[in-house]
Structure 1
């Protein structure tokens, strides 16, 4: 649905994107993660043709992003955290305003279903609504025409826990029912972890990793070794051992390529004095934090 190759974007003297390569495959939910300032929003804006790229190739629905026109936009639903809505309108007035732009693509019954699902007030002006209600209204306006591709840039930003959960449940239900392709950028990794099929992680303007969540979880492990006295890290450790550190009488690190058949043997060989080993699977949030820390170490 989206293919990005060698994407570059500079703002003044700052290289925001330094050769981004990214795929958003059809029918999957791709979570786009990265530290603040890594380039997530700039990448999305280049893909949506809201910011012109300096170089590289960006294809959306088989069309160059610079050539996106009405036929493509009728198949794309886009919501950003800074989405501006006309404050003087109510939800029904907003729907009446947008409906003619999408013609036969707009589904009135689907619109009514989502309005009820999101529990949106019909007589309150958008400017008087809470941030959570406005975000739900923005999502409604981007989904009522049943787009094939849904792009969400920080949709949970600023929402309290209850509203975020309601928003997510509604999005989950709709995504599963409609079979949409979703590309979502978010800092709320625990929320994304509940429904992402695939993850792409960007750091310092480059995508470092992109793969299915299941394979990512399968290869990452948190490793902790116990010793009778304070241990010392060996002078060289495998590159797949991220952020090794000594904490009292233990050594801790994240193994990004753990193999059930051989890794325990390797660990016992490297750390023969270890008296206990604990290996556990990691959540998506823990994997992201481990990678973010390793990026910081590389860049320092």
Structure 2
């Protein structure tokens, strides 16, 4: 719908500027505030969508998501609307599911139901499971089940890699010094969010598991007495990278 100002993107091997109607039977989309025909009932909406797709395997989706067949969409809560949007996508078994802020504003129970249904449905279907791409700021929600993570900042891709690799290399480093007067006024550029208190220096390092890091630290802080490395989560990684980029700007 929108022409790119720069860069390129492909969807299932097809350039984004060349998508046709057949592609949309292979791609599912679930988004915060997704528009649906409010006057339809849950059952009527699912029946309306069925003829549009070559494959439709609804099964027990509505029951699994506790969605009442006879309730009109306008009467559904925010969480139930999101569950209906997910059901309408999972039913036609797309190859790719795009989810834009699917957990925003939802209570913990609904978030758990959405996540469980998504994972269970992907795990029990025959054949190759679809790829699920989630764009979200609710990082704690996706960390338990995401396999890969990518971060965009001001139009730039900061990283894109397997989640386990990312979580292994980003570490919070705590350095204790023998002499607090030896703390440098400036720190190496790749030390993210450095702060000091007395004889202790803390920072986030993007290669915190590197074997060469102790030598790098001792070069910058000659009176280093001890070094501790602590794993951090996606939220902490996001904050460290974002704050570093803003400081650089």
Q: Same fold (TM over 0.5)?
A: yes
1:281 pairs with 2:228: no
Partner of 1:241: 191
Distance 2:99 2:17 in 1: 19
Distance 1:231 1:185 in 2: 45
Partner of 2:131: 181
- Count residues in correspondence: 246
Preserved CA contact (<8 Å) 2:173 2:208 = no
Alpha-carbon spacing, 1:229–1:150, altered in 2? closer, same or farther (3 Å): same
Partner of 1:73: 24
Structure 1 unaligned runs (5+)?
Answer: 1-48
| Aligned pairs for 1:118-267 within 5 A | 118-178=65-125, 179-227=129-177, 230-231=180-181, 233-267=183-217
3-state DSSP class of the match of 1:275? strand
**How many Å apart are 1:230 and its aligned residue?**
4.4
Q: Residue by residue, what CA displacement relative to the aligned partner does 1:134-172 show, whole Å, maximum 9, x if unpaired?
A: 000011111210000000000011101111111111112
| Aligned pairs for 1:11-30 within 5 A | none
3-state DSSP class of the match of 1:194? coil
Which structure is larger by alpha-carbon Rg, 1 or 2? 2
User: RMSD across aligned C-alpha pairs, in angstroms?
Assistant: 1.9
Q: Residue by residue, what CA displacement relative to the aligned partner does 1:154-208 show, whole Å, maximum 9, x if unpaired?
A: 0011101111111111112223344211111011101111111111111112212
Q: Residue by residue, what CA displacement relative to the aligned partner does 1:94-113 show, whole Å, maximum 9, x if unpaired?
A: 011111111x3112xxx132
3-state DSSP class of the match of 1:176? helix
Partner of 1:87: 38
Alpha-carbon spacing, 1:61–1:226, altered in 2? closer, same or farther (3 Å): same
Structure 2 unaligned runs (5+)?
Answer: none
